[in-house]
Amino acid sequence: MRIILLGAPGAGKGTVAKLLTAYDGSVQISTGDILRGAVKAGSELGKKAKGYMERGELVPDSLIMEIMEARLQEPDCAKGFILDGFPRTIPQAEDLEKLLAKLKLKLDLVANLEVPRDVILDRLTTRRTCSNQDCQEIYNIKSKPPSPDGKCLKCGSPAIQRADETVEAITVRLETYNQKTAPLIGFYGKVGILKNVSSLSSEQSVKEITGAIKK
């Protein structure tokens, strides 16, 4: 499948994407994960992206398109891809259209994960993420806690609160989402491939998405 997951930070895009990869072997492409990896590695890309990310702002479109142009042509994308956190602006969506046309690929669906704002705020402030770049298991201190000493249950690395999951950064991220990313709902609505999904349960979202693709 070739799909885009839209939704505010904390809507569950990462969790739903991971579940969808198990469905047909499509690969999850998270621009957030790619950027966090670059920051940790201290690469040129990471140095350019770090400040924007820590403030909860978007990284410039040109940097993101450079990443995506290369990523979508890697061999593991042949089975399909689930775009998690990209596109995030109208210019990115327009550039993606051009890139897909060049690669002779078509999207199957754009799933918009809808979650009430209070649920999102609660989810983000209680989220912990495994600090091991190759694991990145997601925890929640209320519903899915790491070990009592704060370690990942899968790999034993510390499960940490991301720098952009402080209340200040979350507020900026949600505002940025409303201003820059929410207009994509109208953009893909016009293209005719949008499906709104109520994302209170990840399993239910996956059912709705795979059901819509089969039709």
Name the catalytic one among 2, 18, 173, 180: 173
- How far does CA 4 lie from the centroid of its chain? 9
CB-nearer residue toward ligand AMP: 52 or 187: 52
Q: Is 215 exposed, middle or buried (0-12, 13-18, 19+ CB in 10 A)?
A: exposed
Asked if residue 146 binds ligand AMP (CB under 6 A), the reply is no
Nearest distance from residue 58's CB to ligand AMP, in Å? 4
Per the CB < 8 A criterion, the answer to whether 47 and 101 are in contact is no
Per the CB < 8 A criterion, the answer to whether 145 and 139 are in contact is yes
- Please enumerate in sequence order all residues whose Cβ is within 8 A of that of 115, keeping only pairs 6 or more positions apart, or say none: 7, 8, 10, 11, 12, 123, 198, 199, 200
Among 2, 50, 88, 128, binds ligand AMP (CB under 6 A): 88
Asked if residue 59 binds ligand AMP (CB under 6 A), the reply is yes
Asked if residue 56 binds ligand AMP (CB under 6 A), the reply is yes
Residue 80, token pair as written in the block: 């399909």
Nearest distance from residue 215's CB to ligand AMP, in Å? 28
36 tagged catalytic: no
Which residues partner with 139 through β-bridges? 128
Torsion angle of alpha carbons 185, 190, 192, 195, nearest 10°? 20
Interface characters, 3-42, with ligand AMP (x: CB under 6 A): ------x---------------------xx--x-------
Asked if residue 120 binds ligand AMP (CB under 6 A), the reply is no
88 tagged catalytic: yes
Q: Applying CB under 6 A, which residues contact ligand AMP?
A: 9, 31-32, 35, 52-53, 56-59, 64, 85-88, 92, 164, 173
